[in-house]
């Protein structure tokens, strides 16, 4: 059974990369260059030139951090049977709160950054709890609701950057004080000037909390029960409505934290956005490939982080960087076809031996 | 009042792609397949339309060939969604998400292959505006509907009527709706649910492709990653706000178009001056959230939308 659980994501990844390589071949680009770029982004080793640069490893980690968190966000809701397309908006709500606390609150170094992270989690949690409440109370479908909430958050962010935080150029706010930031010179120096920051600490803590809550607590068991069978959970006396709101709120907190990690870690100022940056959709891919488990989300976060980090390297070699998006989308599409593929696999299995599924 | 008169034609230009894509979503969802891939299909349609137009331009018909290309590309792209969600019983939301992800990657990838840059080459005119000499003189309606109008706006309005006729007055429309309400019951009456759902999704692909083409050829000078900027999701909002009904969609689409036009003209209208433009962009989404809550409890959408068709279920 465990093997079968791993088989589908493995097949999906294989299919995605094979398709990506085929697209490159058909359009006259070298798949080898793509694989070299991916190797370099993970290990820092440039095979063609025989050089090593640790900056690439740092950037790889930087790319992986926020999508692990949005992956946890989407995965947490999935476990309760909810589809959270709203991680993007919850992330933006988190960024707005992080920017506000970073600019307006004055506190000693360690405490200030903690306040920033907590505020971002609270804002993301509220942004997630709203569709959760409407789902529980009025049975409004969370997919449509969270899509709408994403755009509301986007325009709210752009309004806040200009009107609330008084951005001079209407693009970015004043720089944050050092006390509010996850940025660290030491980490940057360690990785040859990459944007590596302390963001990995809250990311790892989040992965552990996710694992613990989902797998080891009665509360997590209740959430999963609602995901398996809503009516059954209701009959067993669980508070289904409360669980739905709680699940969306916690999902929102993970995404909100991602907003803080980007805003005060990768960057050092609040930003107006011309459109969604896609972290929420990356999170859907991460959660699907990671089978909504903490360890799975960790590894698939690394996989998609690698793809994102390799993009600039590919572009430099004349390989259009969008091949990474094509590979990611194909992997998601393949996993979407799960039911059909399971059926085909079962048929193949039955053809080979007498033992059933 | 004069401001409103000048705003109307602009509102119609904005409303056109929203309307067409929302009607596309209507066919798909009425057949029982949720289509959140409208955005991605629009991107593919817009890319195809812009590319073909650029290649064929100086020809005066270039824009029209572009529109055809957009429709064809949208239909072909939606085939993926139909195959995944009808044949392979995929989760329709995941499949739609995959299409949205794929569209951004694929179109910009192809831009780099064909045009060596992140966007298509700019076209000279795209689609030209046309006027109907006699009718343009009619007060109010004339300037809005018949003077210097893009033909795509007429297409959108005609498609509303056509969709209403098909859905309400033809056996095909009845069958399509039956597949979205109770596919097993429809199947028991001899309707081929799988085929109807394919048709529903492919029509939505054709219309979303047309919407993308209309958008890029009338509001842009080239296709780029931000050409469609969320209009497919506004179309989804429009479909819900219009209660999955062609005339409801028309009303919602025109209203959303007007709210976008208002963001441009707000600085000239005393009452709206103080409102930041971002709030106008936000309006369609906020209204849809409110509408969703108000409509909740009443069954307005297709009942079986989102569920894979399982012939064995009762």
Over the stretch A208-227, which tens digit does the pLDDT of each residue have? 999 999 999 999 999 999 98
Q: What is the 3-class SS of chain A, one letter each residue?
A: CHHHHHHHHHHHHHHHHHHHHHHHHHCCCCHHHHHHHHHHHHHCEECCCCEECCHHHHHHHHHHHHHHHHHHHHHHHHHCCCCCCCHHHHHHHHHHHHHHHHHHCCCCHHHHHHHHHHHHHHHHHHHHHHHHHHHHHHCCCHHHHHHHHHHHHHHHHHHHHHHHCCCCCCCECCCCCHHHCCECHHHHHHCCCCCCECCHHHHHHHHHHHHHHHHHCHHHHHHHHHHHCHHHHHHCCCCHHHHHHHHHHHHHHHHHHHHHHHHHHHCCCCECCCCCCCHHHHHHHHHHHCCCCHHHHHHHHHHHHHHHHHHHHHHHCCCCCCHHHHHHHHHHHHHHCHHHHHHHHHHHHHHHCCCCC
User: Is residue A354 pLDDT above 50, yes or no?
Assistant: no
Highest mean pLDDT of the ranges A120-134, A224-238, B88-102: A120-134
User: Is residue A355 pLDDT above 60, yes or no?
Assistant: no
DSSP assignment, residue B136? G
- Phi/psi of residue A172, each to 5°? -135, 155
Q: With respect to residue B39, please indicate whether it lies within any of the assigned structural domains.
A: yes
Count of structural domains, chain B? 1
CA neighbor of B75 nearest in space, from B228, B245, B226, B211: B211
Interface of B with A in 95-114 (CB under 8 A): 95, 97-102, 104-106, 108-109, 112-113
**How far apart (Å, rounded) are the C-alpha atoms in residues A330 and A18?**
10
Place of tokens 């000693």: A108
Over the stretch A28-61, which tens digit does the pLDDT of each residue have? 998 999 999 999 999 999 888 889 999 999 999 9
Contact A336 B98 (CB under 8 A): yes
pTM to 2 decimal places: 0.93
**How far apart (Å, rounded) are the C-alpha atoms in residues A237 and A191?**
53
User: Best interface-test mutation with A: which of B44, B77, B88 has the largest number of A CBs within 10 A?
Assistant: B88
Q: Which of B88, B278, B286 sits opposite A159 (nearest CB)?
A: B278
Q: With respect to residue B188, please indicate whether it lies within any of the assigned structural domains.
A: yes
- Mean residue pLDDT of chain A comes to 91
ipTM of model: 0.90
The whole-number pLDDT of residue B106 equals: 96
Interface of B with A in 118-177 (CB under 8 A): none
Place of tokens 């297709």: B302
Interface of B with A in 218-237 (CB under 8 A): 226, 229-230, 233, 236-237
Q: Which domain holds residue B270?
A: 2-126+147-295
B289 close contact with A: CB closer than 8 A? yes
The whole-number pLDDT of residue B265 equals: 80
Chain A environment of B93 (Cβ under 8 Å): 83, 85, 143
A19 close contact with B: CB closer than 8 A? no
CATH number assigned to the domain comprising residue B151? 1.10.3470
A300-305: which pairs have CB atoms within 8 A and are 24 or more residues apart?
A300/A9, A300/A71, A301/A64, A301/A65, A301/A67, A301/A68, A301/A71, A302/A64, A303/A13, A304/A64, A304/A67, A304/A328, A305/A60, A305/A61, A305/A63, A305/A64, A305/A65, A305/A67, A305/A68
B43: closest CA of chain A, how far (Å): 14
Q: With respect to residue B91, please indicate whether it lies within any of the assigned structural domains.
A: yes
User: Best interface-test mutation with B: which of A30, A132, A147 has the largest number of B CBs within 10 A?
Assistant: A147
Sign of CA dihedral A198, A202, A207, A208: positive
Q: Which of B102, B230, B288 sits opposite A275 (nearest CB)?
A: B230
Contact A152 B229 (CB under 8 A): no
**How far apart (Å, rounded) are the C-alpha atoms in residues B110 and A27?**
9
CA angle A179, A201, A198 (to 5 degrees): 40
A304: closest CA of chain B, how far (Å): 13
Contact status, residue A316 vs residue A305, Cβ threshold 8 Å: no
Contact B105 A152 (CB under 8 A): no
The whole-number pLDDT of residue A246 equals: 96
**How far apart (Å, rounded) are the C-alpha atoms in residues A17 and A24?**
10
> Could you count the other beta carbons within 10 Å of the beta carbon of residue A124?
37
Contact A333 B95 (CB under 8 A): yes
Contact A145 B99 (CB under 8 A): no
Length of chain A: 357
B93 close contact with A: CB closer than 8 A? yes
B130: closest CA of chain A, how far (Å): 32
Q: Which of B84, B93, B237 sits opposite A337 (nearest CB)?
A: B84
Chain B environment of A336 (Cβ under 8 Å): 84, 88, 90-91, 94-95, 97-98
**Nearest chain A residue to B107, by CA:** A322
* Maximal C-alpha separation, chain B: 62
B222: closest CA of chain A, how far (Å): 17
The whole-number pLDDT of residue A68 equals: 97
pLDDT band at residue A4 using 50, 70 and 90 as cut-offs = low
B189: closest CA of chain A, how far (Å): 26
**How far apart (Å, rounded) are the C-alpha atoms in residues A332 and A288?**
7
Length of chain B: 314
Per-residue pLDDT averaged across A101-125, rounded?
A: 95
Give Cα A26 distance to the centre of its chain.
31
Contact A27 B97 (CB under 8 A): no
Place of tokens 């509102």: B11
- Phi/psi of residue A183, each to 5°? -60, 145
pLDDT band at residue A352 using 50, 70 and 90 as cut-offs = low
Chain B environment of A345 (Cβ under 8 Å): none
**Nearest chain B residue to A341, by CA:** B88
Chain A environment of B109 (Cβ under 8 Å): 23, 27, 320, 322-323, 325-326
Contact status, residue A332 vs residue B103, Cβ threshold 8 Å: no
B297 close contact with A: CB closer than 8 A? yes
**Nearest chain A residue to B96, by CA:** A333
Give Cα A217 distance to the centre of its chain.
24
User: Best interface-test mutation with B: which of A70, A85, A336 has the largest number of B CBs within 10 A?
Assistant: A336
B140: closest CA of chain A, how far (Å): 33
Alpha helices of B31-148 — where are they, by DSSP H?
38-56, 62-82, 92-115, 141
Give me the percent of chain A exceeding a pLDDT of 90: 74
B146: closest CA of chain A, how far (Å): 34
Contact A148 B281 (CB under 8 A): no
**How far apart (Å, rounded) are the C-alpha atoms in residues B20 and B51?**
21
Contact A285 B229 (CB under 8 A): no
User: From first to last of its 314 residues, what are the pLDDT tens digits of chain B?
Assistant: 677 777 888 899 999 999 999 999 999 999 999 999 999 999 999 999 999 999 998 888 999 999 999 999 999 999 999 999 998 888 899 999 999 999 999 999 999 999 999 999 999 888 888 888 877 777 777 777 788 889 999 999 999 999 999 999 999 999 999 999 999 999 999 999 999 999 999 999 999 999 999 999 999 999 999 999 889 999 998 998 898 999 999 999 998 998 888 877 877 777 777 788 888 888 888 988 888 888 776 767 888 888 888 887 76
A340 close contact with B: CB closer than 8 A? yes
A251, with CB counted inside 10 A (0-12, 13-18, 19+), is buried
Helix (H, G, I), strand (E, B) or coil at B119: coil
A21-27: which pairs have CB atoms within 8 A and are 24 or more residues apart?
A23/A323, A23/A326, A23/B109, A24/A319, A24/A323, A27/B109, A27/B113
User: Best interface-test mutation with B: which of A83, A320, A345 has the largest number of B CBs within 10 A?
Assistant: A320
Chain A, chain B: beta-carbon pairs less than 8 Å apart: 145
**A337: Cβ contacts below 8 Å, ≥ 6 apart:** B84, B88, B90, B95
Chain B environment of A281 (Cβ under 8 Å): 97, 100-101
Strands A51-52 and A45-46, how do they pair?
antiparallel
A77: closest CA of chain B, how far (Å): 14
Place of tokens 């980090």: A309
Q: Which of B36, B229, B278 sits opposite A158 (nearest CB)?
A: B278
DSSP assignment, residue B142? I
Query: H or E stretch including B4?
Result: helix B2-30
CA neighbor of B81 nearest in space, from B64, B65, B93, B73: B93
Q: Which of A152, A325, A330 sits opposite B104 (nearest CB)?
A: A325
């Amino acid at each position: 059974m465990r093997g079968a659980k791993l088989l589908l994501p493995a097949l999906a990844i294989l299919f995605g990369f094979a398709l990506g390589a085929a697209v490159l071949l058909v359009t006259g680009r070298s798949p080898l260059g793509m694989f070299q770029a991916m190797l370099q982004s993970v290990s820092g080793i440039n095979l063609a030139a025989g050089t090593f640069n640790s900056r690439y490893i740092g950037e790889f980690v930087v790319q992986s951090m926020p999508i692990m968190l949005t992956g946890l966000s989407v995965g947490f809701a999935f476990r309760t049977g909810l589809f959270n397309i709203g991680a993007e908006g919850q992330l933006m709500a988190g960024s707005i709160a992080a920017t506000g606390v970073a600019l307006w609150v004055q506190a000693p170094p360690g405490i200030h950054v903690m306040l920033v992270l907590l505020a971002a989690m609270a804002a993301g949690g509220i942004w997630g709890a709203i569709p959760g409440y409407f789902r529980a109370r009025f049975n409004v479908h969370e997919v449509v609701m969270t899509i709408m909430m994403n755009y509301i958050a986007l325009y709210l962010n752009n309004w806040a950057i200009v009107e609330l935080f008084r951005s001079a150029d209407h693009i970015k706010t004043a720089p944050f004080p050092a006390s509010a930031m996850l940025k660290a010179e030491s980490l940057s120096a360690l990785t040859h000037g990459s944007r590596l920051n302390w963001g990995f600490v809250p990311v790892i803590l989040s992965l552990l909390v996710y694992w613990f809550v989902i797998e080891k607590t009665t509360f997590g068991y209740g959430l999963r029960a609602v995901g398996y069978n809503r009516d059954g959970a209701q009959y067993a006396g669980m508070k289904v409505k409360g669980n739905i709101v709680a699940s969306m709120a916690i999902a929102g907190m993970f995404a909100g934290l991602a907003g803080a990690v980007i805003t005060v870690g990768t960057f050092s100022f609040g930003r107006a956005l011309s459109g969604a940056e896609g972290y929420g959709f990356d999170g859907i891919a991460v959660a699907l490939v990671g089978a909504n488990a903490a360890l799975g989300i960790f590894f698939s976060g690394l996989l998609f982080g690698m793809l994102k980090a390799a993009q600039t390297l590919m572009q430099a070699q004349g390989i259009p960087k969008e091949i990474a998006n094509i590979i990611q989308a194909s992997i998601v599409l393949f996993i979407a076809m799960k039911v059909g593929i399971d059926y085909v696999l079962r048929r193949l299995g039955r053809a080979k031996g007498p033992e059933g599924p | 009042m004069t401001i409103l008169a000048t705003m109307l034609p602009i509102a119609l230009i904005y409303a056109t792609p929203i309307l067409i894509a929302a009607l596309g979503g209507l066919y798909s969802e009425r057949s029982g397949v949720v289509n959140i891939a409208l955005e991605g299909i629009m991107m593919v349609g817009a890319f195809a339309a812009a590319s073909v137009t650029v290649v064929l331009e100086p020809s005066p018909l270039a824009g029209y060939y572009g529109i055809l290309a957009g429709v064809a590309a949208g239909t072909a792209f939606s085939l993926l969604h139909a195959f995944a969600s009808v044949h392979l019983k995929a989760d329709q939301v995941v499949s739609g998400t995959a299409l949205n992800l794929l569209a951004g990657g694929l179109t910009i990838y192809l831009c780099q292959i064909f045009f060596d840059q992140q966007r298509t080459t700019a076209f000279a005119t795209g689609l030209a505006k046309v006027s109907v000499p006699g009718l343009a003189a009619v007060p109010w309606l004339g300037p809005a509907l018949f003077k210097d109008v893009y033909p795509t706006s007429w297409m959108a309005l005609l498609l509303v009527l056509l969709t209403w006729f098909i859905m309400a007055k033809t056996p095909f429309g009845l069958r399509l709706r039956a597949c979205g309400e109770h596919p097993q019951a429809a199947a028991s009456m001899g309707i081929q649910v799988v085929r109807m759902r394919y048709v529903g999704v492919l029509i939505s692909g054709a219309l979303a492709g047309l919407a993308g083409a209309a958008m890029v050829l009338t509001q842009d000078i080239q296709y780029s990653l931000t050409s469609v900027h969320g209009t497919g999701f506004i179309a989804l909002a429009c479909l819900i706000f219009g209660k999955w009904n062609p005339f409801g969609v028309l009303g919602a689409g025109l209203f959303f178009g007007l709210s976008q036009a208002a963001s441009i003209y707000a600085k000239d209208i005393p009452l709206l001056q103080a409102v930041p433009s971002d709030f106008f962009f936000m309006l369609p989404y906020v209204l849809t959230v409110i509408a969703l809550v108000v409509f909740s409890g009443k069954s307005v959408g297709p009942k079986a939308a989102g569920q894979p068709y399982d012939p064995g279920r009762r």
